[in-house]
Amino acid sequence: MIHVRNLHHSFSIGKKGKEKQVPVLKGISFDIAAGEIVSIVGRSGSGKSTLLHIMAGFLKPDSGDIRVADVTTSAFSEVESAKFRLDHYGFVFQNFQLMPGLTAFENVELPLVLKGIGKKERQQKVQGIMDNVGLKDVQDHYPNELSGGQQQRVSIARALITDPPVIFADEPTGSLDSETEQDVLLLIQSLNKSRGITFVIITHDDEVAHTADRIYRMHDGELVEGGVTRAI
């Protein structure tokens, strides 16, 4: 499903004309199979979030290649990347990133609006997804009327609504208490099994990481442990 090869990326710091290049990713290579839950683990500053942003097409690497379903996405323009994201990826974030002026239903519906899906089809699809993730009774509530766990379920429903083959989750339980964290992780595992969605989870938490099928561990921009399976 996802093939990353010899990925390098640096950020520039300092005044214009005197910039210094700071390496963030240093030759990252790994594979993610279709239908896997994979965790990419590392401390803050290890490069894991930069890696996610490049994999998702928000950033372009300095060098290296990314292929998703045999398409070389690292060569895309910004417009091509945006279209590919809308058609192939879903996103779940630590701080939920819900629109405060929209109801839970409308937040989940938004990607379908962007894709130009008709109102009747949108409503049927959103209703089905919200029932599936346990949000049937709160669909008319606004984000500030929901608990953290409910907000993250809305975020997951929004990620699912376009039927993406891949969902990127950036610290998806970082704002949740331990009990709610377990509920969200169980939901991710359930959706992975029932729908065959590939989940890529970025986390600093080993407990979260070990819910995945495979773990890649990062330190200082490099993979220091790659492809460890949960059984091991």
Q: Tens of pLDDT along 50-71?
A: 999 999 999 999 999 999 988 8
User: Is residue 187 very low, low, confident or very high in pLDDT (cuts 50, 70, 90)?
Assistant: confident
Q: What is the pLDDT of residue 232?
A: 34
Count structural domains, the chain.
Answer: 1
Task: Give the residue-averaged pLDDT of 98-117.
Answer: 93
How confident is the prediction for the chain on average, in pLDDT? 89
Q: What are phi and psi of 111, to 5 degrees?
A: -60, -30
State the Cα–Cα distance between residues 164 and 211, nearest whole angstrom: 21
Expressed as residue numbers, the domain containing 98 is: 2-229
User: Is residue 112 very low, low, confident or very high in pLDDT (cuts 50, 70, 90)?
Assistant: very high
Contact between 6 and 29 under an 8 Å Cβ cutoff? The reply is: yes
Contact between 196 and 227 under an 8 Å Cβ cutoff? The reply is: no
State the Cα–Cα distance between residues 81 and 79, nearest whole angstrom: 5
Torsion of CA 74, 79, 81, 82, to 10 degrees: 160
Q: How many helices (H) and strands (E) does the chain have?
A: 7, 10
Which CATH number covers residue 194?
3.40.50.300
Q: How far apart are the first and last CA of the chain?
A: 23
* Percent of all residues in the chain with a pLDDT value above 70, rounded to a whole number: 97
Task: Give the residue-averaged pLDDT of 167-193.
Answer: 88
